A and B are shown apart, each in its own frame.
Chain A
Amino acid sequence: MTREFTEAEFMIAQCARLLEDQKTAFIGFGMPQVAAMLAQRLQAPQLVQVFEFGAIGPIPLTPFVRGTMGGPANCYRSIAWTSMNQIFAQAHVDLIDYGVLGATQIDRYGNINSTMLGDDFTRPKKRFPGSGGANEVASYCWKTIVIMLHERRRFVPRVDFVTSPGYLDGTPGARERAGLPSDTGPWRVVTSKALFGFDLESREMKLIGVLQGLTQAQVLAEMEFKPVVAEPLEALAPPTAAELRILREEIDPSRTIVGRPAQ
């Protein structure tokens, strides 16, 4: 199927649509940054982005340059420049509404793995860079949004390593029993094909929307577990012309993050 947009563009646009104006959002490295920038240029000009190295409320300059998260372009026109201990304290007392994170692997209860694959910690089959600040974000923020490519190997019944907490084993009150702050946890999983929430009773991942033109079966085929499926399913709009223009012309003209549609 030829499309006029890329998987990354759809994921980013979907994620950006979830972010509200004049709310605080803890922004992770990479794609979450691009989504927050897009939201700021559309419906949420006063989205207060906060970063783990302590910047609060910047209006990042475009184009986006990967790597410079703590540099002057991303920290432009901040409200305050603080430190990691201070900004995690703000999240700890729950002043941060949203957390936006990337993930390597996720399971049916929204537990995130960004540490390793395999079952021997000392000799992993595949090692990744680790939690960074994701564990804190997933532990503290009111609503955590995970943004990730929709690939079968990334959606597994049980992650090999719980780097950052979702609803743990899915039993009622599991997060609170572990000592995590009440009423927190993963809220949405935004992928290149679909949108998920979590069932309020079972805490299982719940398919709530599918990209227009795709079927439910196509989405479920790319997952190793079967999520709860909402009735009716939302049809998710592809990226709008305005979203694509801002992404391609302002934020990422070199297309290093958003890529180019297949010819």
Chain B
Amino acid sequence: MEVLSAGLGEFRFTEPDAIRAWMRDRKRRDFIDKTLTAGEAVHRFVADGDYVSFDFSSYTRGPLGLIREIIRQRRRDLWYCAKFTLMESTLLVAAGACSRIDVGFMGLGESLNRAVEEGRVKVVEWTNGALTLRHLAGGMGVPFLPTRALLGTDTLKYSGARVVTDPFGGKPIALVPALNPDVGLIHVHQADLYGNARCFGPGVSPLETAMASKKVIISADEIIDHEEIRKDPAKTTIPYFMVDAVVPAPFGAYPGGVQGLYEADYEHFAEYTGLEREGRLAEYLDKYVYSVGSDLEMLEKRVGLGRLNGLRRRATIREGYR
């Protein structure tokens, strides 16, 4: 296939046979209890320099508790996949945990944009669709997938995509390289001890993120019996053998919501936005991350049961989310 043009962006690429070997050797097929605390899971499965992917949004079913734990454990030099990400990409950069971002869509507020302008964080340009397609390729074990997006744009020029002549139809087509993140972080409604997981409602790419990632950490609002999974298998979003750790995490998406369980805490987002605008994210991180030993302690001491119950009461739309 003739390469007509190649994007300038740097990208992580793992050779498909190397991924096969990883999946063969590292992903367990036996039914073992994978529950860990967030602290244990991040300690074991997130290393400095890792490529980290996240699903789905800081407002809805995002693994914000796991993000806070990564910041708390002072991980450095992460390469972050900003497909549809808002607050968490800003927090990771503000905390000095992240030095590169694949964009998608990034940031909540202006401070992350300033960091890019000042060269404090490197970005590679993609789109939300290209990044989820790259996860699908990585999860399928193929080296790339084609797309008719990106073509003709500067987005392509600063991505790692390549344009080739379609060997079947003869027209130009963009190819995006497979992506196999080192770590996939996914918050779910329910999971069993083994990692069989259920997400209700739409999502960006929970399944593709789990398929593609070398290490998968699930955080779950509720732990359910394995028998419940077997009684209603159509509800399983992610099968257990993709999953490395299950973190029981009620309100694990806070300050975001989880559909049908609790609403996003808009007062918290307003507090964040105020501090972000004033360049005071260090105070935010101190209050919600560094000054507490765990997310549970944060929820108890910084949010409180009354407010959490209020968020549950406001989740009045339940249909479809069970």
Chain A interfacial positions (CB closer than 8 Å to B): 51-55, 61, 65, 67-73, 75-76, 78, 81-85, 88, 92, 111, 115, 121-136, 139-140, 161-165, 168, 174-175, 177-181
Among B127, B152, B206, the most chain A Cβ lie within 10 Å of the Cβ of B152
Known A72-B260, A131-B105, A131-B128: A181·B148 in contact at CB below 8 Å: yes
B171 touching A163 by the CB < 8 A rule? Answer: no
**Of B129, B133, B155, B259, which one neighbours A115 at CB under 8 angstroms?**
B155
A52 touching B152 by the CB < 8 A rule? Answer: no
A85 touching B205 by the CB < 8 A rule? Answer: yes
CB distance from B317 to the nearest CB of A (A): 4
**Of B105, B147, B171, which one neighbours A130 at CB under 8 angstroms?**
B105
A139 touching B105 by the CB < 8 A rule? Answer: no
A179 touching B163 by the CB < 8 A rule? Answer: yes
B57 touching A130 by the CB < 8 A rule? Answer: no
Known A71-B259, A132-B127: A140·B117 in contact at CB below 8 Å: no
CB distance from B48 to the nearest CB of A (A): 24
| A and B contact pairs by CB, cutoff 8 A, 15 listed | A65-B266, A70-B59, A70-B203, A71-B259, A72-B257, A115-B155, A127-B117, A130-B82, A131-B104, A131-B125, A131-B126, A135-B149, A135-B155, A164-B155, A178-B172
* Per-position binary interface string of chain B over residues 133-148, scored 1 when its CB falls under 8 Å from any chain A CB and 0 otherwise: 1001000000000011
Question: Residues of B contacting A177 with CB < 8 Å?
Answer: 172
Considering the complex, which residues of chain B in the window 153-189 have a beta carbon less than 8 Å from any beta carbon of chain A?
A: 153-155, 158, 163, 171-174
Chain B interfacial positions (CB closer than 8 Å to A): 56-57, 59-61, 82-84, 103-107, 113-114, 116-117, 119, 122-123, 125-130, 132-133, 136, 147-155, 158, 163, 171-174, 201-208, 257, 259-260, 263-264, 266, 269, 315, 317, 320-321
B201 touching A82 by the CB < 8 A rule? Answer: no
Question: Residues of A contacting B82 with CB < 8 Å?
Answer: 130
A72 touching B201 by the CB < 8 A rule? Answer: yes
In this complex, what residue of B is CB-closest to A67? B59
Question: Residues of B contacting A92 with CB < 8 Å?
Answer: 147-149
CB distance from A110 to the nearest CB of B (A): 12
A84 touching B204 by the CB < 8 A rule? Answer: yes
B127 touching A131 by the CB < 8 A rule? Answer: yes
B154 touching A163 by the CB < 8 A rule? Answer: yes
In this complex, what residue of B is CB-closest to A184? B148
A131 touching B103 by the CB < 8 A rule? Answer: yes
A131 to B201, CA, bound (A): 24
A82 to B320, CA, bound (A): 13
Q: A78-B320, A131-B127 are in contact. List 18 more A-B contacts (CB 8 A).
A: A53-B56, A53-B84, A53-B203, A67-B59, A67-B269, A71-B264, A72-B260, A76-B317, A78-B202, A81-B202, A128-B113, A130-B106, A131-B104, A131-B105, A131-B126, A134-B127, A163-B155, A179-B148
A22 to B263, CA, bound (A): 31
A140 touching B116 by the CB < 8 A rule? Answer: no
A130 touching B317 by the CB < 8 A rule? Answer: no
A75 to B321, CA, bound (A): 11
A83 to B203, CA, bound (A): 5
**Of B116, B136, B147, B172, which one neighbours A127 at CB under 8 angstroms?**
B116
A163 touching B104 by the CB < 8 A rule? Answer: no
Known A54-B204, A83-B207: A139·B136 in contact at CB below 8 Å: no
Question: Residues of A contacting B317 with CB < 8 Å?
Answer: 61, 72-73, 76
A128 to B82, CA, bound (A): 13
Question: Residues of A contacting B163 with CB < 8 Å?
Answer: 179
In this complex, what residue of A is CB-closest to B57? A70
A133 to B153, CA, bound (A): 14
B152 touching A161 by the CB < 8 A rule? Answer: no
Known A68-B264, A132-B128: A139·B202 in contact at CB below 8 Å: no
Known A53-B203, A162-B155: A135·B116 in contact at CB below 8 Å: no
In this complex, what residue of A is CB-closest to B237? A83
Question: Residues of A contacting B106 with CB < 8 Å?
Answer: 129-130
A161 to B125, CA, bound (A): 11
A36 to B162, CA, bound (A): 35
Question: Residues of B contacting A164 with CB < 8 Å?
Answer: 153, 155
A180 to B155, CA, bound (A): 14
Question: Residues of A contacting B56 with CB < 8 Å?
Answer: 53, 70
A122 touching B119 by the CB < 8 A rule? Answer: yes
A123 touching B119 by the CB < 8 A rule? Answer: yes
A133 to B82, CA, bound (A): 12
Known A54-B204, A129-B107: A179·B171 in contact at CB below 8 Å: yes
CB distance from A58 to the nearest CB of B (A): 9
B60 touching A70 by the CB < 8 A rule? Answer: yes
**Of A71, A130, A174, which one neighbours B125 at CB under 8 angstroms?**
A130
B133 touching A139 by the CB < 8 A rule? Answer: no
Question: Residues of A contacting B158 with CB < 8 Å?
Answer: 121
B202 touching A82 by the CB < 8 A rule? Answer: yes
Question: Residues of B contacting A165 with CB < 8 Å?
Answer: 151-153
Question: Residues of B contacting A78 with CB < 8 Å?
Answer: 202, 320
CB distance from B263 to the nearest CB of A (A): 8
In this complex, what residue of B is CB-closest to A117? B117
A10 to B82, CA, bound (A): 33
A180 touching B203 by the CB < 8 A rule? Answer: no
In this complex, what residue of A is CB-closest to B8? A121
A48 to B235, CA, bound (A): 25
In this complex, what residue of A is CB-closest to B5? A178
Question: Residues of B contacting A162 with CB < 8 Å?
Answer: 152-155
